[in-house]
Structure 1
Amino acid sequence: MGANTTKTPKMPTVQLGATKTVDGQAPGSGQAFAFQLCDGQGEVLQEKQNDGGTVPFDKLVYSEDGLAADGSDSTMRYAAGEKAGDSPSYAYDDTVYDVAVTLHRETAPHGRTTVTATPAITKAGPRSPRWRSTTSRAPRRSLSPRGGSAPRAAPSPSACWPTGWTPARR
């Protein structure tokens, strides 16, 4: 007698990397900045502080629940941004990065299923998030939701979803 078994694929993880600079240099001791990673609905998943010039986001861990039932690719959407602080000594960076992680399932002829996760990070082209601040409070200009330039808006409650911003559609 044989038993039916279901093979569970090993699910991937994704480690997002980011950098932070102040006046072109890695922040020194005592220069702490907050960063948020949000899901596609704007819920804050992680809030982290920089460790020198790096931002140590936790690994994103995926489960079979994230896979499309029909076997097609699934895309998980995130946004990452620096949370504006209240120090008058810094001009905080209000750049928001759109992160799309595509889960791809492939079943080999012998029945083994593999799942890969491929991240794509965009802000005027693929790149790793890099936030820059200056010690000047001079007005900064940044990209508006339509791609033109606009004056910097007041800080929003979530660094991931500034007023008027929505993630890019794929």
Structure 2
Amino acid sequence: MSFTGGVATFTLKHGQSKTANGLPAGVSYTVEESDNSGYTVTKTNATGPIQTGSTATASFENYKGSSGGSGGSGGSSGGNGGGSSSHTPQPARVNLTATKTMDGLIPTGSGFTFFLDDANGQRLQVKNNQGGNITFDTLTFNKTGTYVYYLTEQTGNDKNINYDTASYKVTVTVTCPYDYAASVSYEKNGQAYNSVPAFANTTKQAAPAPTPTQTPSVVAPARPLDNVPKTEDSSNLALWGILAAASLLSLTVLLAGTKTRKVRFQGKEHQS
């Protein structure tokens, strides 16, 4: 895609897309569609700023229905919107979608639940993901005005999952130049968001294992302890018994010798 004077022109068929790379952050953009006469057009993120680290996605959905239109969330018809009196404006249609990831990957199954609420908190739709996609029922508008909705994910019961708590504000602006036309813009948690709403869940990390308690090391004494005989060692008990008997005999002999000396001393004193 090449720009001349800040403008790039290109042609797309149904289902095709075009990407502009290298646009500086902070630059504002506007995407317009031509040659859509006779179609009801829904524009999403057709204008906005280029945000750092994200991709702005502008989309156009053209719808050609039968004349007469149908009722919808926009209420009754708001008039011919400037067209001829014989023309009944076709209602605008908006298909809200979102994406789902689990740890950065597309989840299998449909185990996550999503809500579409109006500005008053009234729950309008409840949908489950189909793999990585969430698709809400078509909203139709046959009255000009501004309509606000909110997209959120239900916090589940799996304690091992961090559920995405983001709240996307969806603003639908409906005009009627000939048929009703809707323009959709998003905010994420109060900040402008120029892409498809995305809900990203992650797996909680396991708690770290507790650090084992270290047993203090035993310090050997400075000198070896005396060997104490074990009570069940009969040989040591006999040895200790012999030593005790010998000590008692020595004490008896010592006492006897002391008494004899005293008698002799007294005898000598008596003779003098």
**TM-score normalised to the size of structure 1?**
0.66
- Structure 2: any 5+ residue segments left out of the alignment? 1-84, 207-272
Deviations 1:67-123 (A, max 9, x none): 2xxxxxx110001000111111211000000000000111xxxxxx22100110112
Is 1:50 the counterpart of 2:129? The answer is: yes
Aligned equivalent of 2:196: 128
Quote how far apart the aligned CAs of 1:12 are.
1.0
8 Å Cα contact 1:32/1:49 also seen in 2: yes
1:98 paired with 2:158, answer: no
- Mean CA deviation greater in 96-105 or 115-124: 115-124
Name the CA shift for 1:47/1:137 in 2 (closer, same or farther; >3 Å).
farther
> Pick from 18, 35, 41: which aligns with 2:120?
41
CA root-mean-square deviation:
1.9
Larger radius of gyration: 2
Moved over 3 A (4+): none
Relative contact order, CA 8 A, sep 6+: which one is greater?
Answer: 1
Taking the aligned partners of 1:78 and 1:127, their CA distance within structure 2 comes to: 16
Using the alignment, how far apart are the partners of 1:9 and 1:105 within structure 2?
Answer: 8
Pair 8,84 (structure 1): closer, same or farther in 2 beyond 3 Å: same
Cα separation, 2, equivalents of 1:46 and 1:22: 23
1:145-165 CA distances to partner (integer Å, 9 max, x unpaired)?
xxxxxxxxxxxxxxxxxxxxx
Q: CA 1:137/1:86 → structure 2, altered by over 3 Å: closer, same or farther?
A: farther
Output the CA distance in 2 between the equivalents of 1:41 and 1:32.
Answer: 27
Q: Give the equivalent residue in structure 2 for 1:16.
A: 96
One of 127, 150, 153 as aligned partner of 1:79? 150
Residue in structure 1 matched with residue 111 of structure 2 by the alignment: 32
Higher relative strand content = 1
Provide the identity percentage.
Answer: 34
